[in-house]
Structure formats: structure tokens, C-alpha cells
A and B are shown apart, each in its own frame.
Chain A
């Protein structure tokens, strides 16, 4: 049977090619034996060798991932607490004020967030570097986590909370055994979102970094101004692979937890253990 030709499919492929072509162009040239992106001089891994010899770049990569991991972890905790507060708030006005503040932070341009953080840090005399970057990353990640967690809370059956209380659970037991496990997919999604936002943030970091501390996006930007070395291409290729792995990881975790639910095996510790 001959498959019918579909314009929509053609369009889809066109868009995908348009989106991914520059990335693949970059990756392919990371294997170029020459030093520029004009003309193919043969296959070589020399830019990768250069990359791994560049201790400053390695250090920056480690810093970037450390910032991303720490900021998204802390933002997940704080954001979940914030979402719980907004969810639990009975006063409509206060609830809406907090929600709006959260959303404004989410849509406001990075440049403004970055500039305001710079002003804040200078005014209070906070030295720029690792801590200032970490704090600002946590700050812009919290609204993302709140946005991912809040719908889960709102979808949650209200009577679950009533049932936990009815069965004798105190607030902490209710939270740890019922609410958190139920909203955990939202927290997980929030964590991954915050992680990727932190990884590729340029604007905010650019403002609040200093004293020699740098993250990848800022470093690549400053190097690119002096002409793009193919070492950057090698680095970008590696980063692309890492992103791909992250996406796959998220996919595997989320499908496995839903499969587990179906089979009846446990992701969470059985209620009889612990506590």
C-alpha cells in the first residue's frame, strides 16, 4: 500500500531540519582538521584533544554543572514549599498576589533580573562569584518549579488530605507520605526544567558573575568575540550530547514511574517501613 503524501509531514521535516541543521553543522565542523569553519580539511579529533587539555574550560564545565545541580535542587525544595503555601492559602487575595509575583518573575526578561541582582549585590556589598551566581540561579528557578508543582497539587484529590488526617496522620506524615509522593512527578519535572534553565542561562549569569568565576555560556560568549575557535565546536558537541542524555533520562524516569504504577511495584518506600 502506498502511503499518501502529506504536506503536513513535509512541513514538519522542514521545520526540524531548519532547527537542527546549525547544530549539526557545528558538530560536524568540530571534527574538522582545519582551524576554521570554512572548507573541510579532513577528519580529526584534535579539537577534542585541545578541549580536554584546556583546564580552564574543564573547570568552567564543572562549575556550570555544580551551579545547575545545586540551584535546581534548592529551587525544587523552595519552589515546592512555595507551591504548597500558595495551594494552602485560603485567602484569595494573598493567593493571587503570590501567584502573580511568581508569574511576573517567570516572564520578566533575564536582562532585568540580572541587572537588578547586580544592583542588589553591589548595594549590600556581596562579592560577585560562585555564591552570587548560585543565588540568582536559585531565584529564577523557583518560579519554574512552582509552575510545575502547583497544577499537580490542584489536580490532587482534596479528600486524600482529609483521609490522611482521618487515619491519624499529623501534618508532617500527611505531607511526606501522601502529598509529596502524589506530586512527585511535578517536582521532578520542575527539577529538570530548572536544571536546563540554569545550564544554558547567559544573561543573568553575565551580570552577576565576577572575580574570574565563569559559566559555560558566558565563557563561550567571551571567546566567540575573539573569533570562534573550533574547540568551542567540540565543547558544543559534548554539551549537545549531555542535553540529549538528560532528555532521555527524564523520559526513562517518567515512563518507568508510570509503568511501575501499572504493575503495582513500588517506587516509594512501603508505608510499613521507615517512620
Chain B
């Protein structure tokens, strides 16, 4: 019969063939010398392959990324990069050199401007900008990597990998690649006889290369308390009193930034004073933020699961195994996929800062000249419609929802709190509220299908500015939401449209509350409320277990 002649193992045969070609490059077991790395890539990567370079928030397969830029483009071209982060110059150099041509990614950070330029010049064909969970999801649907260039702390000669403190994306990248007959190459800092713990079993890894330099790690989640402003302190007071205490928020995620750092540093002072210890902020899905140390040390926090590690926090985290997820080797086990899933379904509140909020409440960090991507924030900054377990905070937010009854009748259903912290004007008078998001302009210049919006207005429940809190989910119409946004938008073009009589009515309904309504004393809103005022104080809180990177050591 016709069907019997069809081959059902072409991927496997192709894989075997590529591996066979690479055998002369193997020194011993799975180990390939760094000097043969470029040759290895030229051998196992074929034109039009989907390739992932592991570029996490923290650890970077930087050596393999450099090697990929050096391959012969006669042999290797038209690659389709499917990677979570574009964080190193080399991640874009492969496009400049015409080795790769298309990209699907989540986050671009420091390369955002150059990426936008490349897209505009037609050097890159844009697949889509994903959130982490979407991209990881599509690894198992239609964006499965043919070759994964990954990174670990150490490996043994059987290829067992130790990813340690910064495990991050490695498990999901390797699982998707390996089990669809792909090829996994790992760069490691060292090759050892026995790895401290097996994070990735050796038979999921094809080649191991000891990189000439340890992989690069960026301290992305460290915020020096010395740079927290009085207005950030005020917003933090408002969040603690007007949201965390109001709803009894026990499980949450903090987006990274000075605003959330201020909240973390106010828990042991202002939070304590309000008698909230044990009632709020017990469970986090969060990287090990150094600014959370005082709250942890004061006994606020029961549990933290992390997406990745953070420079200098290894010893502290290892010594707090009641709080963090620690392996048998006593070091942190982070995992971006699991932590994002936990952050999507397991928590009651997401809070973070943004660049722009429009008059409807949509927010974006895009500007016309930067494609920054999303990272994981939208996976947490949304109401997970598939959630079925209930908590008090979730139910209260659902009960307050101004439109729910008009959609599902009197059935009780809760709602995730999604909070945006916004300064009405940032430095140089850049407005935090705008009539139209810059994301529209970016979509036009970069030819994106939709404007890249971080959090859609209908997912957003609260906006916190210095002017007040808008409890947007309580509104029963778009008109009312827009009025509530105007009421807290200060002296921006959006705020100047505010009508005092509307605001008075919204305050009466409890949809808008000013610091005064919340009983917050403006004169106390200053840095003296911070439990730690600088990095040195954090070290002291940690009992000397936190070892900040040199650029934060101002003593």
C-alpha cells in the first residue's frame, strides 16, 4: 500500500546523519573543544533550521552566540531564530551577517533600538513578539527548534548538566528540542567528574563545549534603594494600604522596578505599623530581589518561587531554604516556565510599572524606535480566564466587578488584580498618560500586525498614581473607566480633561480614592520610611549573606 512506503522517521534519520558528520569533532564522550565549536555548528545546523540560542534574563549562551556569527554563510543561512531573549549584540549580528533571517522572540531589552532598526531596514523578518509562555508553548506546537544552543554551569563527560542557581529556560528549551529529534549543544563554564546535581539528564544533550570564559550574567533585578524617590514611597504606601490591605493580597508577583522595590522596603516599616504582617505578601512568584531581604528577615514571606536567580543572592537564598526552592545541592532551582505558569494561575495580584497608559487604560512599554518585547509580564498581568480555585482576594475583586453580572448573571466568579503603577510625569516631563500609545507608531514603522500592548485595558483592575488609585474594575462602562483614568492622570493631557464633578462622584462611589481618602499622610511620604536606604543596608539585613556586584558596592 502507498502509506506503508512513507517514511515516518525522517527527522530521526536526519538527526542521526548530522550527529554522524560531527563525530570527528568529538574529543571524548560528548565533549567538543571550544576551538571546534564553529565547525560543529556548521556541521549540525542546516539552512532554514529553526535555532534557539539560550538567552535568558540572566545567563547567556554568549560563546555559542558568538560562534554562530562566525559560521560560513554559504553553509548556514536563512535560520529562523526562536529564542526568548535578544539580549546580546551577537543575537542581532547573525542577521547582519545574513546567517539568520527570521525571528520569533519575547524580550529584547538592551537590543530593542537596534532590533527596530533591523526590522525597518528589512534585515529581519519578524515572526511574532510573544510572551514567555506563548513562545515556550509554541516550541511544542509549530516553532520547535531543530538545534538548541544552551548554557549551563557545569557538565560531566556523559553530558549531565548542572544549571544551578540560574536554571531559567534551559529545561523547556532542551525538552522541546530533544524530544522532537533535535540537537542540543550546551556551553558550560567547566567540565567536572560529577555535577553537583543533575538538572538535565545527559542523554538529552548531544554536545558539550567548555567555553573560554564563564557565561555572562546581568544583575537585572537589583534596584539600589538609594535611588528610590519620595513619590515612589508615596505610591508604595497607597498600594499597601489601598490594595494589599484592602483585598488581603497573599500571593503575588512584583514586576521589577523602583516602584515595587519601594513596596518591598515598606513592608517591615509601614506594613508593620498597619498590622499587616501575616495578612499580606506571604507567597511570591518572583526572582530573588535583594530589596525583599528586609521583609523576608522580618518574617513576612513564607515562600518564593523564582524565574531565575540574581547576582550576589546565591548564598542568602541557599541559607533560606524554608522560603526558596532549593535543590539537594543547597542551591536555588529556578525555572522560568513553571514560575510563569505559577504566576499566571497561582497568584492573586500582579503589579508593575509601565511607560505609557492611554485614555482607555491600555498600557505599553513600546516607543516608536524600540521593539522591547514583552517578557513575561502579560502572562501575569492578565485575568487568567481558566482559573477555577478561589481565594478571598480573588472573590472580592470579582464581586466588585462592574460588568460581570451583565455577562454571567449572578454566578460568583473572582478576578485577578492587575495593578499598574504610574508616575504622571517621569524625568524630563515625559507624560505617563497619553491620548494614543506610541505602540501604534511602532506597529506602523516596524510592520507589526498589532500594536504591542503589554496590558490591555480590560485586564487592568487598578491604576496607582501619586494622585490616587483608580479601581477600574468597579466601573460599569468604558465611559466611566475613562473618567476614572482622567481623575488620577494628574496634569498630563489626559488628566487635564478631568471634570471635577465626575471625580467627586467617582470618589463617592469608591472608584477613585486619593491619598487623603485613604488616610495617607503626605508628609510621611519620604525615604525615611524605607527599611533599607542603600545596598549596604541590604547586606546588613542579610547578615552578610548577600554579596552585591561591584557596581552596587558603594562603601
Report whether chain A binds chain B.
no
Mark B residues whose CB is within 8 Å of A.
Answer: none
Mark A residues whose CB is within 8 Å of B.
Answer: none
